[in-house]
A and B are shown apart, each in its own frame.
Chain A
Amino acid sequence: MSETPDGKSIRDRLRAPADTGAANSGGDSRGSDVTDASFQQTDSRAELASHGRDERQHSAPSAPVAHAIQEPRKADLSEAEARSAERKVAALFVLSFLGVIGFVVTFFVAPFKFTERDNIYFTPLLALFMTLALAGIGAGAVLWAKTLMVDEEAVQERHGFASEIEERDATGQALVQGFEQTGLARRSLLRNTLLLGAGSLALLPLPLLLDLGPYAHKEDRFRTTAWKKGVRLVRRNGTPIRIGDLALGSLETAYPDVPGGVQMADTPTMLIRMRPEELKPRKGREDWSVDGHIAYSVICTHLGCPVKLYEQQTHHLFCPCHQSTFDASNGAKVLFGPAARNLPQLPIYVDDEGYFVAKSDYTEPVGPSFWERKS
């Protein structure tokens, strides 16, 4: 772009505006030496024409119109200014190179040479050098474009959207011809079995859609957990929890003693111990706790966060996500926050060996609400 076909540089032509002035002011640059040679290269029509497949010229869009900048820049007029601008751009590019070198050196040197105290500089240094590397290229490119590159605005008309009528006919013919060549029109067995096979593909996603409907809950997976009568409460490492293990004002996270019980999403339970007289069991749940030990689901009934922030003096259970607060001494009743239901309580007792055991599964679904939930 810096050299035009007549061999003159942009700067030469800008110094002598009379050369291009007429073409630019006329608005029609078909004959302008500024544009024809350079811009038509980007015209796909011209490419087609050069391949000999489309000789038509009537549909070719008008060639782009270039407007020279009104005010020549310093670098356009003075070779010394241009050199100076060039040096500035080059300096930015070198800065970018140094940034890359610095990044690589930091990355490889830091693990061997940095002490633990220096380590805090590692990531900031990487960031600094990466900034230099990227910003150097970017700023250099901007400066280059603004000072040295040809500064022209060009307008190019779009060609019509529709293909030519001949082209459309040819495509249609090719399709018809292609269909004939498959032989499907004559071979009805082939055609019918193809329709059968391809048509039945539509059935494939149907079973997946079923999972969105009521069938998914047929097994009551949302309503039941792995807790059941006689299942021991164990810690994360699998050791069972014995009565007396918990001090007053303690909380222990308990899982069911079943295979994979620690990994299940709906079973985590917290076992809390408080003074028996502090406990106000809900009606019908008087025998669900043992000597001040009471067990609730960890999962918030609002959106399922773990409610394990237990305050042993107030007996508040606090959900860190949306500040729902439950009263552990009073059936995990909601005191505050967006949760609509109390935390489900796990009925527990102590077996002959002194270990905590579940009396049954949770009597209501644990965790957040869902469509089919009635309570």
Chain B
Amino acid sequence: MDSAPSRMQRLSGPTVIVLALAVIGMLYTAFGAPAGHAKDDPTTEQSMAVKAGRELYLQGCSTCHGLGLQGGAGGPSLIGVGESSVIFQVESGRMPLKAGTVEAPRKKAKYTTAEIDQLAAFVGAHGGGPKLPPGKLNDGNLQQGGELFRTNCASCHNFAGAGGALSYGQYAPPLTEASARVIMGAMQSGPENMPRFSDNQLTPDEKKAVVRYVQFITKAPQPGGAALGRFGPVPEGLVMWLVGITALVGVTLWIGARA
């Protein structure tokens, strides 16, 4: 009698532990496991985007850039170019390429913003590369943006973002139609002949300041009337001399002829 309950007690300890483990295991299976599995589940947003982007890529891009993004005769490799590059190229309509010109011109975008994000996710999943910084892209400091723009961008893109000529038929495009995503993507990826600006050179906040300034300067009202392409004193002087002075000389001659 003495030993029976004690044996029972001795056995009850492991039994309770086993039972407890079983209950925990069941609870984990019931609630914990699905949550744990979700990270690899192909139904999540990110991998859905990659999957959808893959479809878009295979249809629209793989002819030139290769089935495995390895590039080919028609286009460069896209491994490691990053999401920013895709967003710049596709959202500004430069890709898909229309013809092999000196420089890809801006066109109407062929994909919606959602599709562009899917393409970017797919390309970004292959080799990483720069991606757009989180948050609003144009909430930087306007004055700082102006200084950075004049130091780093204005030499090619003109002080008012009107663009300008480069060597051998190339050109720096005007920034008037570029969206915040396109401007940010261009700075991060350095498309074609544009230099890249790493985060060590211009921090994400400084890039946001530049985006804000570009949007400010290209959308600013023009209190002087006709902006003449915002190219500055050269076309303004040309119009002044050719149109203004010619008109004045004409009026003077007319007055003289009437006298």
Give the CA-CA distance A313 to B190 in the complex, in Å: 10
Is A247's beta carbon under 8 Å from chain B?
A: yes
Encoded as 1 (CB less than 8 Å from any B CB) or 0, chain A from 106 to 122 comes to: 00000000001101101
Residues of the A chain whose Cβ atoms lie less than 8 Å from the Cβ of B190? 247, 249-250, 312
> A120–B225 Cα gap in the complex (Å)?
6
Partner-contacting stretch, out of B42-50, B60-68, B86-94, B194-202: B194-202
Q: How many residues of A contact B (CB 8 A)?
A: 36
In contact, B166 and A119 (Cβ under 8 angstroms): no
Q: Mark B154-196, 1 if CB is under 8 A from A, else 0.
A: 0110000000111110101000000000000000001011111
Chain B contacts of A122 at CB under 8 A? 223
Q: Which of B155, B197, B198, B200 contacts A308 (CB 8 A)?
A: B155
Is the CB–CB distance between B167 and A311 below 8 Å? yes
State whether B167 touches A247 (Cβ < 8 A).
Answer: no
Which residue of chain A is the closest to B144 with respect to CB atoms? Answer: A237
Q: How far is the CA of A212 from the CA of B258 in the complex (A)?
A: 54
Interface locus among A56-64, A275-283, A317-325, A343-351: A317-325
Return B103 CB to nearest CB of chain A, in Å. 10
Which residues, 133 to 147 on B, are CB-close (under 8 Å) to A? Answer: 147
B195–A312 CB distance below 8 A: yes
CB distance A336 to B155 under 8 Å?
no
Q: How far is the CA of A318 from the CA of B172 in the complex (A)?
A: 12
Contact A311 B151, CB 8 Å, known A116-B221, A120-B225: no
| B222: interface (CB < 8 Å) | yes
Residue of A nearest to B156 (CB): A309
Other-chain contact of A249, B151, B195, B223 (Cβ < 8 Å): B195
How near does chain B come to A241, taking the closest CB pair, in angstroms? 9
In whole angstroms, what is the CA distance A320 to B158 when docked?
A: 10
B127 in the interface, Cβ–Cβ < 8 Å?
A: no
A253 interfacial contact with B, CB 8 Å: yes
- Identify B225's interface contact among A124, A242, A251, CB under 8 A: A124
Complex Cα–Cα for A308 and B151 (A): 10
Partner pick for A318 among B167, B195, B200, CB 8 A cutoff: B167
- In this complex, the interface size class of chain B, counting residues with CB under 8 Å from chain A, is 20 to 34
Q: How many angstroms between the C-alpha atoms of A142 and B190 in the bound complex?
A: 63
How many A-B pairs have beta carbons closer than 8 Å: the answer is 83
A-B contact pairs, 21 of them (CB 8 A): A119-B221, A120-B221, A120-B222, A123-B223, A142-B255, A242-B200, A245-B198, A245-B201, A246-B201, A249-B190, A250-B196, A250-B197, A250-B201, A309-B155, A309-B164, A312-B195, A312-B196, A313-B193, A318-B166, A318-B167, A320-B164
Q: Which residues of A contact B195 (CB under 8 A)?
A: 249-251, 310, 312
Contact of B13 with A by CB under 8 A: no
Determine whether the beta carbon of A236 is less than 8 Å from that of B225.
Answer: no
Q: How far is the CA of A7 from the CA of B175 in the complex (A)?
A: 75
Are B167 and A314 in contact, with the CB atoms below 8 A?
yes
Q: How far is the CA of A216 from the CA of B194 in the complex (A)?
A: 42
Q: Which residue of B lies closest to A124 (CB)?
A: B225
Given contacts A247-B201, A318-B166, contact A309 B222 (CB under 8 A): no
Query: If the complex has contacts A311-B170, A325-B167, are A246 and B225 also in contact, measured as CB distance less than 8 A?
Result: no
Q: What residues of chain A lie closer than 8 Å to B5, measured between beta carbons?
A: none
- Kindly state the separation between the CA atoms of A51 and B223 in the bound complex, as whole angstroms: 59
Complex Cα–Cα for A23 and B15 (A): 148
Q: Which 9 A-B pairs have the closest CB atoms?
A: A311-B193, A247-B198, A245-B200, A308-B155, A247-B196, A119-B221, A251-B195, A318-B167, A325-B167
- Give the Cβ gap from A140 to chain B, nearest Cβ, in Å: 14
Nearest-CB distance from A146 to chain B (Å)? Answer: 8
Nearest chain B CB to A128's CB is how many angstroms away? Answer: 10
- Whether a CB of chain A sits under 8 angstroms from the CB of B224 is yes
